[in-house]
Amino acid sequence: MASSAPPNAQPQGVVAVGASAGGVEALTRLAAGLPSDLPFAVLVALHVPPGAPSVLGKIIDRSGPLPAESAANGAPLEQRRIYVAIPDHHLLISDHRVMLSEGPTENGYRPAINALFRSVALEFGPRAIGVLMSGVLDDGVAGLGAIQARGGTTLVQRPDDALYPAMPHNAIEAGVVDDQVAAADIGGVLKRLADREIEERPMEPDIKMDLENRIAMGSRFEVSIEGDTLGPPSGYTCPDCNGSLMTLSDTGYRCRVGHAWTADALLEARDDEVEGAVWVALRSLKEKANMSRRLAQKVGSGSLFDRYNMVADEAERAITVLGKRLLESSPDSDKPDG
């Protein structure tokens, strides 16, 4: 049965919720459907830029019966309360308390959903519930796998209910989802989960999961990670620091200072790097063409005039090719973050 304990009582378990693009709408609908006597603590991580204002807690607080607030480092976990990650900090838990960390980014994000999910998996095991909602790419997928591996329960927002279904869809494809639920109906599922009997069973330590959790809890510029403790060299470099990436799994990588990447996020970062390089090349070619035309005008007719014009013609042909490349990729410029 759901607890009738006072709101500040220790929670029976923890619900960790992760979202990205389209996540504010999804989170408000989830909050509106939560039961007022939910015997869990709820922790929420949404991908936001580092300098964004910390207003999500207020938005969620107005949306449903449970009080929501921006997470404060060291706050004790209480049932019937929602703790919301603040920009540029991972939201983690340690010893039944909230922990805010400036540990290395994961998939370019801080807060990262995978970091939150791993943390609750290690701390609460079968009493951890992970919920992955609207967003693009795959942050949170490995974290749901961690919760499932420690005996917890994993839910995703039903893809046809999400503004951006990629994150829930990728989790389903990875086989780490116990149930698919519309955002407005998640509260009812959580209430049923609160009434279940939980079988406590001994769990073997997960050395790699524990290491990744300790990295997330570390400092922003942690440099004490030994590469061979992460895995073999991947042959790739980290988009954040240009350091060598080690292979954690078939689809996961970390560098020596702790930045973590999934394969999909790494591919996306490479696309951004290529587009940036093309823009640099385009600017340089335009300057080269303009300079060559001006030099040709100054020297007048002759072999030097022909040479400068030939250089300008070649640069302008290359500009046309690169312009087509940027035009082909222009739909991606409207893509949401996360």
Tell me which residues are annotated as active site.
20, 47, 139
* Burial class for 23, CB neighbours closer than 10 Å (0-12, 13-18, 19+): buried
CA 11 to chain centre: 26
Q: DSSP string covering 132-145, please?
A: E-S-SS-TTHHHHH
Cβ neighbour number for residue 316 with a 10 Å cutoff: 16
Distances (CA, A) of 277 to 220, 272, 280, 327, 330: 27, 9, 5, 15, 15
What whole-number distance in Å separates Cα of residue 86 and Cα of residue 45?
8
- In whole angstroms, give the CA distance from residue 33 to residue 108: 31
End-to-end CA distance of the chain: 37
Beta bridge partners of 264: none
Tracing tokens 């080269």 back to the chain, one arrives at 288
Query: 3-state class of 192 per DSSP?
Result: helix
Tokens of 176: 């780490």
Closest CA to 89 of 216, 265, 210: 216
Q: How far apart, in whole angstroms, are the C-alpha atoms of residue 27 and residue 15?
A: 13
DSSP assignment string, 242-284 = -PEEEEEETTEEEETT--EEEHHHHHHHHHHHHHHHHHHHHHH
Token reading at 244: 């060598």
Q: For residue 85, what are the β-bridge partners?
A: none
Please give the structure tokens belonging to residue 82.
């929602």
